[in-house]
Structures are given as C-alpha cells and as structure tokens.
Amino acid sequence: MNILVLSHMYPNRLNSTYGIFIHQLNRHIHKKGIKLHVISPVPWTLQILRYFRKKWDYYYNIPLHDEIEEIEVNYPRYFIPPQGWLFQYSGVFMYRGLKNLIQNKTFDLIHAHVALPDGYTAYLIKNNFDIPFIVTVHGQDLQVTLYKNKSCKKSLKKIFDSAERITLVSSKLKDLLIEHFGHASKSEVIPNGFDPNDIAIRGDDLKKIYGHKLILLSVSNLINTKGIDLNIKAVKELKNKFRNFKYLIIGDGPQKSYLKKLVQQYGLTEYVEFLGRLPYKEVMKYMSVADIFSLPSWQEGFGVVYIEAMAHGLSVIGVEGEGIQDVIKNWENGVLVKPKDVNSLVRALEILFFNPQRRKFLGENAKKEVFRNYTWDKIAERYIEIYREVKNANK
C-alpha cells in the first residue's frame, strides 16, 4: 500500500518533538511494510519577516524536504492569514500550497491528522484526484474549532461526511462527534501510544542532581488549559507539610512568564524548576527518575504524555471527563481530579507525597495497563487494518 499522510504537526530539524506522536505511529506502520509519504505544510513567510518574530524565522528555516527514519517528508509552504483569520478556509490555502506535490503520483488513500485544515485538504484532494481519505481527530477540532464560527462547523461537516473513516483518540471525542455530526457507524476510537524502547532510556545522571528528593513532573505546552498554575498553587499548599521534593516543569509557551511570577510570589523558587522545551529523549530521562506526573489539563483530547508517564511506572494525575479517563481508573492505575479544582489536586498530591506504597501500587498497575494495550505496535496494526478495508472498498 502507498499512503499519503497529511499533518501540519510533524517533527523537523528545528523542532524534533512537534507532532512526535504522529511520526512514532508512522514509524511503526512503515516497519510493517506500508509505504508512507508525509506532507507537513508550513506557513509561508516573507524573508524580511524572519528578522522581526522568532516564529517566522523558525518557519523560514524548515527545509522543504527531509527524510526522518526512512520516511520521506515534504514541508511545502502555504499562505495562512495572521491571527487565525479565515481559519475556516485554511484547508483551501493548504491545498493550494501542496497540490503540485501530489500530481502524477499514485496513492491508495490519504490519512489526515486533524480535520481542519488537514482533513479539509484531504477532502479537496479526494474531489479533484479521486483518492479516498480517513481523518484522525486529536482534540482541537471538536473542542475548539467547532465553536469558532458557523463556517468552521460547516467545513467540519463536509470533512466528516466525505471521509471514508473517522478515528478519534478518545471516547470523549467520539461522543462529541456523534453529538454534533453523527457518523457513529464509520467512527472508531484508536488512542495514541508509546514505544517501549523509549522507556528504556535511563536518567542516572539526573538522580545524582536531585538526590533523594521526591520528583513531581509536568510535561506540556505552557498554556492556560494545561493547568500548570493549578500544580503550582497545590505545591504552595503542601510545601509546609512536605519539603523534600522538587517540581520540574518541561515545556514552553505563552504562560511561562506568568507561571514564573507565580512561583516567585508564592516563595517556591527552591522547589520549582523550569527546564524549558527539551528533546524527546531528554524528556524520557526525566520521566525515568520522577515519582509523580501531574497534568490537570481540562481540555485534553487524549494526551500521549500521560501514557508515557504511566509506562515509566509513575503515579499519574489527570482530570475527570477528559480523554485520559479511557485509560486511568481512579486510584487503581492513576488518579483523576476534578477540573480546575485546586483542593481536589491538593488532596491527591498529599496522599501520593506521603504514601510511597500507594505510589508504587498505582505505578505498577499503570505500567501493566499501557504495556498491555497502548504500544505503538498494537496501534499501528489497527490503522493498517483500516487502510486495507478502505482500499478494498474503493477498488
């Protein structure tokens, strides 16, 4: 089979972790003999703009073509209006930027990650080149884009109506799809996963740095919905009861300066450390030495980082009603707290801080669960089955 993968989220030479979960899935599909061609469109920018904003310099320097672990990746440029203007037409702009790459090529099907813009681009390719497509919803489409305006909702409807199959990374998202668009019969929950080889990466050097301190860890983009501020507020409540800990925050984003001010305001500078955005293997090292992983995000489609933390045997804290609830059984293999509720988070952390046996119990159960059901090898098999079904149905 010859599959075209469309994903504006994909690793590149300047950001090795962007969309890493999509590449990891592709890598395991590729290992099973499926030929993949990845197109990861990048916003177009004038050369002069790169000197004024960091993100435009980043876009400008991404190569047009690369190969990542034997998978061909193209990074064509496409026009995108600033500040999210005309987002409902973003799939049209993306299609115009990449259509020359697919002319005179033969694909059995398209796998689009994210409905808008990538899925809409696949919808246009289907209409113009008669190539069937499936679309994977990771979260934003049904948690944010759906509510932007009526035009965005109409665009999503076209995509879901036209797609041969719809996969979603959690039951939460499938419920939203059915509520707003229907399509229960052609939709399926397929979660994200992890690679057991990544879990073998050890961080013995880090153990020397942090000694015998209990390590609380978060890994995320530093944006409001991730709830990092809730962790900081919870730590403030606990520091007078339990002092031998370090809260490590991996990631970057627009809330970083606010979060740092919060740490200073609460007198937590000796307890909280901002590590910035790190390469994937470094993140795995930190997970290997941590004790508790907490990400009280209240707008999470799934969150592969929870799975990775569980695979390391950590006690993992997520939020009730979010995508990770498919995986975490409260106080059996992890902990679910109430959304945006600092008191609920404080109670959970206090129990985990003072009870190493409880941490061990949760961590062992978490590891068993994800190794049994959430490896990329198992997830890849499920996608390959869908590819075959779609291909056979469109002969």
User: In which band, very low, low, confident or very high, does the pLDDT at 49 lie, cut at 50, 70 and 90?
Assistant: low
Q: Stretch 103-110: mean pLDDT, rounded?
A: 92
Residue range 2-193+376-393, CATH number:
3.40.50.2000
Domains 2-193+376-393 and 196-373 share a fold: yes
Residue percentage of the chain with pLDDT more than 70: 98
Q: Stretch 257-269: mean pLDDT, rounded?
A: 97
The CATH class given to the 196-373 domain equals alpha beta
Q: pLDDT by residue (tens digit) across 339-360?
A: 999 999 999 999 999 999 999 9
Q: Stretch 16-20: mean pLDDT, rounded?
A: 89
Q: pLDDT by residue (tens digit) across 281-331?
A: 999 999 999 999 999 999 899 999 999 999 999 999 999 999 999 999 999
- Give the phi and the psi of residue 356 in degrees, each rounded to 5: -60, -35
How far is residue 300's CA from residue 238's CA, in Å, rounded to a whole number? 26
pTM above 0.85, yes or no: yes
Q: Per-domain residue ranges for the chain?
A: 2-193+376-393, 196-373
